[in-house]
Structure 1
Amino acid sequence: MRTIWEGLKQLTLYKSAMLGLGIIGILVGISIYTVIAIPYHEAINKWRGGEEMWLDNPRNAMPAWVNLFGWNLPETIKVDSQTGGEKEVIPLGGETSEIRIRLAFDYSYAGFPPEVAVAFSATYQVKKPFVSFTWITPDGREYAFGGQEVRDRERITISTSPELKRLLGMTNPEVGLFLDPDSGDEPRPLKGTYTLVIDGYVFEEGSDLDARLIVYGEVYGLAGTDAKR
């Protein structure tokens, strides 16, 4: 025992050895925390779940800490009608109701988001809800588009909408939705508050509709993401 103690005292004389022991200690601590914080079955499900389990994460994102060096790259923004958005139900007669959802968020980044999507959660028996969109920019411009039925779990990537491409006159709607019209030859985002208004219609008693807007970023988490999010 004394020999071991003397050996440890000798190690304290070498900074590189202490650094190595510190790194090992951190890794062991993370391993213990992971086993305690994430149950085994949940870890297996996440590992085998495929891309659908990570759909709210951006693709090929850099670690979020790169913004500490002044890059100001966009981070992923999520706005949900069940938590942070506005939702109004307007009876229209019979079993039909309009559900108007307003999802507002502030955008102050130097770059454009790579993707914009809306995830719907709908409750109905037979008749699917119908939705359309209006995008409102900080300077008051409005872009109305869409018009389709949604299932109980429906995901619409609005940044790939052919209608939006025609409406905005560009092949990258995720740029056009955020473009500052005064940016000239060097496109830049218009900073401020954006709002996505969703006009939904349900046609059965007890039907309901909620939506979550995801504005994907270029940075995410401590380690970033790959092509499978």
Structure 2
Amino acid sequence: MSAPLGLREIVKEVLKSKSGLAGLCILLFLTILSLLVPIYFPKGNIVNAWNDPLHWVKYPRLAAPEWVEIFIGKRLPRTLDIVNSDFKYLSIKMSSGFKYVRREANFYYDYDDFPSDFIIFLNTSYRSSPPYVAVTIIRPDGLKVKLFSGTLTSSTQALYISTDKDILSNIADFVTKVTGKPPSALSFIYIFAERESLPNVKEVKVLKSSYFKPPRPYRIVVKALMYSKKDKLRIEAIIYGKVYGLAGTDNERRDILLGILWGTPISLAFGIVGSVVTTVIQAFLGAVSAWYGGKVDEVLQRATDIMLVIPILPLIILIDFVYRLTLWRLLEVLVVFSILGMVTKITRSMVLQVKSEQYIEAAISYGASKKRILALYITPRITPYTFANIVLSIPSFVFLEAALSILGLGDPLLPTLGKLLDNAYEGGALYHGYWWWVLLPAGVIMLIAIAFVLMYYPLDKILNPRLRER
């Protein structure tokens, strides 16, 4: 009979194997990525920012990852943020208590596709009445597109160029004036379209700044009539792109990469804690059941039989519906319902074989107590199996967290891999073709599962004595 292996020998066995090293490298890679979160997002509380819509207002909605350009063969637009300091004062006139301001900002547009959205933010501070504002776009070809003119209705007003009916009507009037025909559909992309390709929205081509020599910019001209010399106007224009970062964005403009980097260690912690606690408790109770026997064995085995047939998922749904559990409270409930299981049964059968071996009988003969024998002689024999079961169970808990999140049982605030998939499901990501929203978080979950499965392969030699002795 071969001697039992300790935890150090088990780790050495894993490190000797190529598959074990590959699994450890994957986990190390995911861990390093997670440690980069403070560098990638140095702006404070990630959970609060993740759930704050105002934080993501400058990000494009449902943007694909930037690397998709490699496969598409086009240069897709990035988001252009034209801040207040970019709007230069071209003229300021004071007369009879009034102030007339003309400001202008330039930007170059050389992408192969149209923007996904366009918003101009007008923030004013005034004493008596809000200012009268007119906003115009001057294209590189010299054509002017009147977007808005009127008195602002609030101190913080946003002009949603892509959805505001009045603004879209103004753009349609521009197309009709230039071509003599009304546009085929209301759309803001006519602002960035070549004159020759108007007015069919399905056939328009991008008017690039680089078509002219030297390149000509687009110009945003804002004219404001203020009713006090001390009134102020701050302007910011955001032209949203169609690609962003390494993982794209979701329907709430949130950076999916941040959710993956933050959610990966949370999902891993959920899996590791759940697997370690439940496996160790089940293995311990299985060993106690077999070693002490009698009524202890009978009670534990009948309790195990009951726990194996209890439908845990409906109970968790009921408990979560009543108490609305956080992620870690949910883990506590899972542990409570998993203290007895198949590991208890299998460990019991292993200990029943071990207790009849000669070295156990020798320990009993020299007067060792039952607790000492259980701790020093029996536990080392079941340690390899317990460790292997922990490694194999971690992906199950990671998948479980994802499944519970999709069922609406996850933490409503905490960004995890499961919560990302839940948001993608609710947003109809697959139906609308937002594949990155689903495949990237799901790919990380699969990568975690592959890592632990690769680490489990070398443990076969430990669990199978014949393989270990060859």
| Same fold? TM cut 0.5 | yes
**Aligned pair partner of 2:37 in 34, 38, 54:** 34
Kindly provide the CA deviation profile for residues 85-121 of structure 1, in whole angstroms up to 9, marking residues without a partner as x. 3234512313321222212111111111122110122
Say whether 1:153 aligns with 2:159. no
**Aligned pair partner of 1:177 in 168, 180, 191:** 191
Note the C-alpha offset of 1:39. Answer: 7.4
Matches within 5 A, 1:28-107: 28-34=31-37, 42-50=45-53, 52-69=54-71, 70-82=73-85, 84-107=86-109
**Aligned pair partner of 2:205 in 177, 182, 188:** 188
Question: In 2 relative to 1, CA 35–218 (structure 1 residues): closer, same or farther, beyond 3 Å?
Answer: closer
**Aligned pair partner of 2:9 in 3, 6, 9:** 3
Note the C-alpha offset of 1:158. Answer: 1.9
Note the C-alpha offset of 1:189. Answer: 0.4
Aligned partner letter, 2:9: T
Secondary structure of the equivalent of 1:159? coil
Kindly provide the CA deviation profile for residues 193-214 of structure 1, in whole angstroms up to 9, marking residues without a partner as x. 2111111222123211121111
Aligned partner letter, 1:191: K
TM-score with structure 2 setting the length: 0.44
Q: Is the 8 A contact 1:131 1:199 kept in 2?
A: yes
Q: Is the 8 A contact 1:76 1:216 kept in 2?
A: yes
Aligned partner letter, 1:97: K
Tell me how large the CA RMSD over aligned residues is.
2.6
Counterpart in 2 of 1:223? 247
Note the C-alpha offset of 1:165. Answer: 2.6
Note the C-alpha offset of 1:20. Answer: 3.3
Aligned partner letter, 1:47: W
Aligned partner letter, 1:124: Y
Q: What CA distance in whole angstroms lies between the structure 1 residues aligned with 2:106 and 2:21?
A: 50
Q: Is the 8 A contact 2:94 2:229 kept in 1?
A: no
Larger radius of gyration: 2
Tell me the matched-pair count.
224
Secondary structure of the equivalent of 1:75? coil
More strand by share: 1
Poorly superposed stretches of 4+, deviation over 6 Å: none
Aligned partner letter, 1:3: E
Where do 5+ consecutive residues of structure 1 fail to align?
none
More helix by share: 2
Question: In 2 relative to 1, CA 210–68 (structure 1 residues): closer, same or farther, beyond 3 Å?
Answer: farther
Q: What CA distance in whole angstroms lies between the structure 2 residues aligned with 1:189 and 1:85?
A: 24
TM-score with structure 1 setting the length: 0.84
Q: What CA distance in whole angstroms lies between the structure 2 residues aligned with 1:8 and 1:105?
A: 57
Secondary structure of the equivalent of 1:111? coil
Of 201-210 and 21-30, deviating more is 21-30
Note the C-alpha offset of 1:9. Answer: 4.0
Matches within 5 A, 1:131-146: 131-146=133-148
Note the C-alpha offset of 1:33. Answer: 3.5
Q: What CA distance in whole angstroms lies between the structure 1 residues aligned with 2:189 and 2:96?
A: 41
Q: Is the 8 A contact 2:63 2:242 kept in 1?
A: yes
Q: Is the 8 A contact 2:171 2:188 kept in 1?
A: no
Kindly provide the CA deviation profile for residues 7-56 of structure 1, in whole angstroms up to 9, marking residues without a partner as x. 35413x34xx4443333223222333335775796323212213x33222
Q: What CA distance in whole angstroms lies between the structure 2 residues aligned with 1:86 and 1:153?
A: 20
Question: In 2 relative to 1, CA 142–38 (structure 1 residues): closer, same or farther, beyond 3 Å?
Answer: closer
Note the C-alpha offset of 1:163. Answer: 2.3
Counterpart in 2 of 1:112? 114
Secondary structure of the equivalent of 1:6? helix
Q: What CA distance in whole angstroms lies between the structure 1 residues aligned with 2:43 and 2:232?
A: 35
Higher relative contact order (CA 8 A, sep 6+): 1
Where do 5+ consecutive residues of structure 2 fail to align?
1-6, 176-181, 210-216, 254-470
Note the C-alpha offset of 1:131. Answer: 1.0
